A and B are shown apart, each in its own frame.
Chain A
């Protein structure tokens, strides 16, 4: 009964979305206030319907209702409650429902919080949002209905893939989707602006908080995914340049470019068409990612339950959405009034360079990801493009970006004094130089790129501090005055500093863990020990322990450094009888400067076990850096100027004028 309510609610949501997509759009064209007014209640109603459907499916999972096909295929009564709930989106149909729920949540949020948006713009935004919802609701209802019944109901379900029975599943997909789908708002704003034929500083200010939120969520989502793969796959790696990873990384790169170009759009009333195009491209990448992950056209280490036929629907939808938007863009963009003049040496000039590099990086990732498909389609056989390609291409593109990230915040708008700025950055350059020399001295004979990486991290971190010190005029005015200035700095400024600092931390983590990782692979008998990365790992045997729905072989390691105890590690090899599938659970001890990572493998039948031990320097910094970046985004969101819908068109225009005159 409850499953039928869920199904019915989903059908109702489609009907509401159809009304929401058409009526307000026509109303906005005709200037009919009553038709326009339908947009907000419709968006909220659509959200409510999908939320009911989602709750209905969750109910089926929690109560283990195996008369629902989706539950029978993907759940089991003996599964812990957490995995019954997260199992809702641990499969194609359920995760699609989560996708649609988040889409509707963003639409509802615009309807509720976008109080100060002009009604016609809001109506058009919600209408575009509903069009996307129609596509995905149709897809869900006609090809991937999660509420299909199964008769007779089996006594128990097939269970969830053991690799997914992990807290990672509870958090990674929701955050990733909040990011992916969040960019649909920027997209809807872009299409609405093209239809209205009007893009100005106020528009940029309205879009910015949504982009910022989506970007922060996506950053967390990617970091969580990488962390999950790191501890669950048991290979000690955190990024494989796998197609599924690239699928989430491309919208991130384009979204980061969008975040920066919308600042220029807001402050200088320029780069308008470009910002619109980026909004379209970013959401296009999100859809492309959805397609790549679900269609299984590319070999991936992370691919689950893929289905080529369903992929074709998403591909078709992708073509319609991106093709349609680009046609609209081609027709309407030339009518958008161009912005102010650009001096090459200025903050906006520097941000243009940033955009150029980010979009080029996104394009190279796209090319590398899709290249195997092109070659295959042209009859060139099956090929794969792996980490060497991405490392070769990516490092030269990211290096100037990191240098630029240190300089740009110090440049003035309109026309900047580059020599003066570089003079102020002498300290940062000195820090970078010192870090490079230390790296070369300490790791003589190691990879040359390591010195570049640590140097860039040092440069960026120091440049962030220099920029902050410049803003508060540290040591140039009395300390009390600096403190007063620091308190009154806009939150957006702190957000930017935090985000850039997070990048520096992340770069340090990526560099150190790639360059100085130590790996040992051996057979160990109980009582034996092995030295890795300066730590002594003593093996104390393996014993069997039962789990809630698995049995495990648990190894025991005692780690010491120069005789002092450091940690006890308990890696496991689990066996899930329902799926007849083993999983590896790595044991990780972090000192925050390095991870000690231990995996126990199979017994060799002669009293020994194969074990793998890694010493991964600075790996935790990767996730800490990503969290700092996302936290910077959140801090920036709390800035009074970014409060959703806060600016009215007149005030923002006045501010843009004042900013231009005073800049």
Chain B
């Protein structure tokens, strides 16, 4: 009897911990998940302003401009069908280059400008972020392992 009751307590504590953890996970997943948009999707069905999201694609050729404050960079991310203007204040990753794949996290501001809080470029030449490949596939411009 005593043994059974102890086991019951252990199970109850376990269930309580798991319950709390599950509640935490579900709330966090609802609030903190960041959705991915390709530039075309972003223009066709824009998300609510100030929602954190990621966009991915290639940095459009000849689109990178340094703003006058010296630390803000403006560029365009394209899936080769649609391009989105992005503004980022900070130092870009070393491998950020025109024509390269890039994933940008941030939110859509008024006027369709994407204000980035972070820029992910790949670490080496052979790595393509899956999101970028996906965006290019959606726009039909994917050419194998480019």
Q: Chain A contacts of B125 at CB under 8 A?
A: 579, 581
Interface residue? A363 (CB, 8 A): yes
A384-B10 in contact (CB<8A) = no
A385-B91 in contact (CB<8A) = no
Select which of A381, A392, A521 is within 8 A of B35 by beta carbon: A381
Q: Would you give the shortest CB distance from B96 to chain A, in whole angstroms?
A: 10
Q: Chain A contacts of B21 at CB under 8 A?
A: 360, 363-364, 393, 397
B9-A344 in contact (CB<8A) = yes
Given A161-B124, A301-B123, A353-B13, A381:B71 Cβ within 8 A = no
Q: Chain A contacts of B91 at CB under 8 A?
A: 234, 521, 584, 599, 601, 610, 612
Q: Which of B27, B126, B130 has the most chain A CB atoms inside 10 A of its CB? A: B130
A582 to B24, CA, bound (A): 41
Select which of A356, A383, A393, A582 is within 8 A of B28 by beta carbon: A393
Interface residue? A469 (CB, 8 A): no
Within 8 A of A (CB), among B49-108: 54, 66, 69-71, 89-91, 94-95, 103, 105
**Would you give the 0/1 interface string for B1-19, flagging 1 where the beta carbon is closer than 8 Å to chain A?**
0110010011001100110
Q: Chain A contacts of B70 at CB under 8 A?
A: 522-523, 604, 608, 610
**Would you give the 0/1 interface string for B127-143, flagging 1 where the beta carbon is closer than 8 Å to chain A?**
10111001000000000
A299-B129 in contact (CB<8A) = yes
**Would you give the 0/1 interface string for A289-328, flagging 1 where the beta carbon is closer than 8 Å to chain B?**
0000000111101111110000000000000000000000
Q: Which of B70, B90, B123, B129 has the most chain A CB atoms inside 10 A of its CB? A: B70
Given A299-B129, A384-B33, A388-B32, A364:B54 Cβ within 8 A = no
Interface residue? A342 (CB, 8 A): yes
Select which of A161, A296, A360, A604 is within 8 A of B130 by beta carbon: A296
Q: Chain A contacts of B103 at CB under 8 A?
A: 299
Interface residue? A425 (CB, 8 A): no
A385 to B90, CA, bound (A): 22
Q: Which of B2, B24, B89, B125 has the most chain A CB atoms inside 10 A of its CB? A: B24
Interface residue? B113 (CB, 8 A): no
Within 8 A of B (CB), among A393-441: 393, 396-397
A382-B35 in contact (CB<8A) = yes
B124-A384 in contact (CB<8A) = no
Interface residue? A367 (CB, 8 A): yes
Q: Chain A contacts of B127 at CB under 8 A?
A: 296, 303-306
B35-A341 in contact (CB<8A) = no
A371 to B34, CA, bound (A): 11
Q: Would you give the shortest CB distance from A97 to chain B, in whole angstroms?
A: 20
Which residue from chain A places its CB closest to the CB of B91 in the assembled complex?
A601
Interface residue? B109 (CB, 8 A): no
Interface residue? A583 (CB, 8 A): yes
Given A299-B120, A392-B32, A582-B94, A341:B3 Cβ within 8 A = yes
Q: Chain A contacts of B17 at CB under 8 A?
A: 356-357, 360
Given A301-B123, A384-B34, A388-B28, A521:B18 Cβ within 8 A = no
Select which of B27, B36, B69, B120 is within 8 A of A392 by beta carbon: B27
A304 to B35, CA, bound (A): 24
Within 8 A of A (CB), among B19-33: 20-21, 24-25, 27-29, 31-33
Within 8 A of B (CB), among A593-612: 599, 601, 604, 608, 610, 612
Q: Chain B contacts of A389 at CB under 8 A?
A: 28-29, 32-33
Q: Chain B contacts of A584 at CB under 8 A?
A: 91, 94
A344-B6 in contact (CB<8A) = yes
B123-A302 in contact (CB<8A) = yes
A360-B18 in contact (CB<8A) = yes
A245 to B91, CA, bound (A): 23
A383-B6 in contact (CB<8A) = no
Q: Chain A contacts of B95 at CB under 8 A?
A: 581-582
Which residue from chain B places its CB closest to the CB of A384 in the assembled complex?
B34
Interface residue? A352 (CB, 8 A): yes
Q: Would you give the shortest CB distance from B50 to chain A, in whole angstroms?
A: 15
Interface residue? A663 (CB, 8 A): no
B123-A393 in contact (CB<8A) = no
A385-B123 in contact (CB<8A) = no
Q: 16 additional contacts, CB 8 Å, given A343-B6, A382-B130?
A: A356-B13, A360-B21, A368-B25, A383-B33, A384-B36, A384-B105, A385-B33, A386-B34, A386-B105, A521-B89, A521-B90, A521-B91, A523-B70, A581-B125, A584-B94, A610-B70
- 24 A–B contacts, CB within 8 A, in A order: A163-B94, A296-B127, A299-B103, A299-B130, A299-B131, A341-B2, A344-B10, A356-B13, A356-B14, A360-B17, A360-B21, A363-B21, A364-B25, A367-B29, A371-B29, A371-B33, A385-B33, A385-B34, A396-B20, A397-B24, A579-B125, A608-B70, A610-B70, A612-B90
Among all A-B residue pairs, the 10 with the closest Cβ atoms? A523-B70, A382-B36, A389-B32, A388-B32, A392-B28, A389-B28, A161-B124, A360-B21, A299-B129, A604-B70
